[in-house]
């Protein structure tokens, strides 16, 4: 569930799309296609990504038209078949196929949902190309629901996904507003996870509750803390990010999140200096295990007592007894960042009423509790709307998380500079 590796996956699939787009463009030129109507007629600020997606769109028009026919014929009876395109790890596939969809299908025999799952989002871009193609051709689509992240916003702004309101999905009002704003209202957050602080209560009687408290604890307890390098997983990545973010002037945060300007990177210097000063106090005098899981394993071996971990991974490890019972998770102040998974509705879907109903259904506490129990995620709803027992169980975690994240190029630079300025030579000066 690492957000960074997910992001890297996105970057790769994006570059893959460019390749596909280029090939499609060539093919389109070769065939002398005249119908290369850009899918992005409205405000397109990202010129680079417009060209390939529009060219890919032109090639997938035919398949969209085909699928439209299928969808209309299905709608003929009173019964409709909904198609839900989802992606992620196997646990998400199981969550839908084994736990949530059987309940929905039983309750709504007139609108059964079929799941089309893409492991690790491998075919997400193809699905979006298909939607873009259908839109460019002015045809409806058979894709009724789509699970995504930033792509919902990117393509929502191009008119491919519905901008959701409380008129469509009443309980959207019960989800955290900043999490919805993050996606531009083009999706409903239905589950989430964040990075939290794990500590072993057998050794840490008075755990730090603030970020500054963490630094102080690390320096007071030599060798009992570690985190993973930012490029190897989101848990360490968010610890690094939170430390850098601490010193960035508020006015510049937006730039760091949405664009790229290397001249601003000097604002990271105090953050990197702080991280480097922690070096001698980190496990074995400065060893950073390579990945979210290796950090959890160090916690399990009790070689470290405090470390940042993903909430869902930490809870799963505790449930599987891979961590001692004495390991507790808590969210600190300011919180580490996290992210939600969203469900969106394509503008071309013919069963939008049902899609909206489904989104409303997913947000009900019953379904939200299933999600929490099965994959140890956070609810999409704000914590206060969850049943008391759930809130009690998650008391130390049931806080909001930071939605900030560096843009792709900035986070690549964070990776590089972390290796150079924190792990790299000259080795950390003993303080």
Nearest to 370 by CA among 353, 349, 387, 348: 387
Q: Rounded to the nearest whole angstrom, what is the least distance from the CB of residue 8 to another protein in the complex?
A: 7
Window of 72-80, 245-253, 363-371, 417-425 that interacts with another protein by CB under 8 A? 417-425
Could you give the string, one character per residue 210-249, with x where binding to another protein holds by CB under 8 A and - elsewhere? -------------------x-x------------------
- How far is CA 323 from its chain centroid? 25
Measured distance CA(320)–CA(31) in Å, rounded: 57
Measured distance CA(26)–CA(265) in Å, rounded: 39
Shorter beta-carbon distance to another protein: residue 141 or 151:
151
Window of 8-16, 56-64, 71-79, 191-199 that interacts with another protein by CB under 8 A? 8-16
Does residue 409 belong to the site contacting another protein (CB under 8 A)? yes
Does residue 259 belong to the site contacting another protein (CB under 8 A)? no
HEC sequence for 303-356: CCCEEEEEHHHHHHHHHCCCCCCCEEEECCECCCEEEEEEEECECCECCHHHHH
Measured distance CA(84)–CA(62) in Å, rounded: 21
CA angle in degrees (0–180, nearest 5) for 150-145-19? 50
Shorter beta-carbon distance to another protein: residue 183 or 240:
240
Measured distance CA(172)–CA(313) in Å, rounded: 27
Q: Which residues pair with 330 in a beta bridge?
A: 197
161 DSSP assignment: B
Shorter beta-carbon distance to another protein: residue 170 or 424:
424
Does residue 367 belong to the site contacting another protein (CB under 8 A)? no
Shorter beta-carbon distance to another protein: residue 283 or 381:
283
Does residue 286 belong to the site contacting another protein (CB under 8 A)? yes
Residue among 45, 425, 429, 430 that touches another protein (CB under 8 A): 425
Residue among 287, 361, 383, 385 that touches another protein (CB under 8 A): 287
Does residue 290 belong to the site contacting another protein (CB under 8 A)? yes
Q: Rounded to the nearest whole angstrom, what is the least distance from the CB of residue 403 to another protein in the complex?
A: 23
And the tokens for 140? 């409806």
And the tokens for 133? 């193609």
Those residues with Cβ within 8 angstroms of residue 282's Cβ, 6 or more apart along the chain or in another chain: 218, 223, 225, 226, 227, 288
18-37 residues in contact with another protein (CB under 8 A) are 18-19, 22
Q: Are 156 and 184 in contact, with CB atoms under 8 Å apart?
A: yes
By rule CB under 8 A, what count of residues binds another protein? 27
Residue among 44, 105, 209, 303 that touches another protein (CB under 8 A): 303
Binding site for another protein (CB under 8 A): 8, 11, 15, 18-19, 22, 229, 231, 260, 284, 286-288, 290, 301, 303, 408-409, 412-413, 415-416, 419-420, 423-425
């Amino acid at each position: 569930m690492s957000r960074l590796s997910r992001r890297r996956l996105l970057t790769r699939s994006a570059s893959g799309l460019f390749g596909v787009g280029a090939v499609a463009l060539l093919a389109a030129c070769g065939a002398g296609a005249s119908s290369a109507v850009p899918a992005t007629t409205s405000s397109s600020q990202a010129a680079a990504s417009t060209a390939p997606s529009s060219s890919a769109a032109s090639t997938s028009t035919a398949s969209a038209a085909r699928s439209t026919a299928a969808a209309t014929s299905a709608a003929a009876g009173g019964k409709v078949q909904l198609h839900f395109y989802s992606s992620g790890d196997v646990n998400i596939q199981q969550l839908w196929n084994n736990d949530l969809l059987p309940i929905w299908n039983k309750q709504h025999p007139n609108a059964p949902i079929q799941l089309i799952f893409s492991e690790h989002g491998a075919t997400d871009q193809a699905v979006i190309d298909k939607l873009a193609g259908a839109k460019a051709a002015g045809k409806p689509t058979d894709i009724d629901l789509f699970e995504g992240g930033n792509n919902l916003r990117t393509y929502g702004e191009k008119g491919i996904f519905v901008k959701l309101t409380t008129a469509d999905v009443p309980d959207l009002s019960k989800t955290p507003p900043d999490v919805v704003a993050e996606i531009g209202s083009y999706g409903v957050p239905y589950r989430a996870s964040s990075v939290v602080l794990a500590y072993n209560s057998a050794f840490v009687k008075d755990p730090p509750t603030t970020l500054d408290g963490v630094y102080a604890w690390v320096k007071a307890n030599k060798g009992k803390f570690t985190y993973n390098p930012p490029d190897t997983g989101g848990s360490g990545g968010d610890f690094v990010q939170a430390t850098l973010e601490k010193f960035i002037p508020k006015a510049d945060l937006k730039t760091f999140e949405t664009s790229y300007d290397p001249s601003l990177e000097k604002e990271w210097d105090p953050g990197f200096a702080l991280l480097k000063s922690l070096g001698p106090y980190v496990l074995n005098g400065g060893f950073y295990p390579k990945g979210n899981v290796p950090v959890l394993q160090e916690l399990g071996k009790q070689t470290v007592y405090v470390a940042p971990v993903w909430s869902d991974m930490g809870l799963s490890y505790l449930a599987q007894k891979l961590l001692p019972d004495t390991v507790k998770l808590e969210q600190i102040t300011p919180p580490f960042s996290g992210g939600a998974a969203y469900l969106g509705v394509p503008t071309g879907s013919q069963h939008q009423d049902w899609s909206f109903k489904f989104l409303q259904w997913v947000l009900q506490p019953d379904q939200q509790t299933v999600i929490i129990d099965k994959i140890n995620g956070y609810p999409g709803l704000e914590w206060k709307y969850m049943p008391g027992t759930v809130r009690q169980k998650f008391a130390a975690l049931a806080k909001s998380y930071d939605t900030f994240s560096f843009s792709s190029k900035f986070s690549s630079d964070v990776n590089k500079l972390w290796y150079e300025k924190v792990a790299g030579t000259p080795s950390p000066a003993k303080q």
